[in-house]
Amino acid sequence: MSFSVKLRVRYAESDQMGVAYYSNYFVWFESARTELLRESGHPYSEMEKDGLFLPVSECHCSYSAPAHYDELLEVRCLITEVRTRAVRFEYEVVREETVIAEGHTVHVCTDRNARPRLIPTHVRETLLKLAEPEACCKNQGRG
């Protein structure tokens, strides 16, 4: 299951030439990921109340075309890997059906003290249901 959010490039996110600054893509990734988790029934706010944190352990973005001030973009998010202690999200930034950037983030499950921990079973089961079918099957036993 993929999830997407639409956003418009804000003036503050662009440089003097009207081009969106590269680091904003990671903020946009977070927006899509946050909404995906909210829709799944496991919003970050609830997970954190339960002592479950998902800090980023890896991130990447490839840019194929610039985004410009005031353009409407769609940011697509998909879970592609669920392990016992980590989850991988893939992203596409799309302008008028053209993918202008692709990326991923990997998040490790930790407790309040930033110590790695297992993803709770009920959360992991939900994430597995949301993941691509191949990802669910091949990653169920990985750590």
Q: Which residues are catalytic?
A: 15
Counted residue by residue, the chain has a size of 143
Of 132, 128, 105, the residue nearest 42 (C-alpha): 128
Of 60, 6, 9, 61, the residue nearest 32 (C-alpha): 6
Residue with tokens 């496991």, as numbered in its chain: 42
**Token pair belonging to 51:** 């002592």
**Token pair belonging to 53:** 């944190």
Q: 50: helix, coil or strand?
A: coil
To the nearest 10 degrees (0 to 180), the angle between helices 24-40 and 121-130 is 110
Residue with tokens 């110590």, as numbered in its chain: 115
For residues 118 and 110, the answer to whether their CB atoms sit within 8 Å is: no
